[in-house]
Amino acid sequence: MNIYVNKNGKNLGPYTSDELREELALGKVVARDQACPEGAMHWSTVGSLLGIPYNFSQAVYQPRLCPQCTGELVLQGDAPDKSTGIIVIVLGILLAPVCVGILLIMWGASLTGNRKYWWHCRNCGRTFPA
């Protein structure tokens, strides 16, 4: 996955996840800099893309560690109902002349927006609920 970083108005990259972690360790990039994976439509922060949670008490990003093996945890997400939602939206469009079509479109839109998140350990491969 190629990641682009916006630091002080300058676009940097593309970086792989490992290269971005190295830049972060060297201090060339900070966790609160804006970042966007290639092909994504929205910018996020370097810390959130690399799965480094923000510690508000110390105002720094700290890696989250696995309780089993103390490996680094990465936040992952998926939209399991997205394809079902798209199918329901298409059915709603086809049935739009009937009152049921509008309800199907609204239900399909709510299904496509559902996302589920979990923590994945890079070391042992275990997953934990987010």
Please write the tens of the pLDDT for every residue from 17-76. 888 888 877 778 887 888 998 888 888 888 888 877 655 444 455 567 777 887 777 777
CA–CA separation, 61 and 54 (whole Å): 4
CATH class for the region spanning 1-63: alpha beta
The beta-carbon contacts of 30-33 under 8 Å, at least 24 apart in sequence, are 31/60, 31/61, 32/61, 33/5, 33/6, 33/7
Do 28 and 19 contact (CB within 8 A), yes or no? no
> What's the whole-number mean pLDDT along residues 7-14?
88
**Where exactly are the structural domains of the chain?**
1-63
Please write the tens of the pLDDT for every residue from 85-125. 888 888 888 888 777 888 888 888 888 877 788 888 888 88
| pLDDT for position 58 | 47
Please write the tens of the pLDDT for every residue from 76-93. 777 778 888 888 888 888
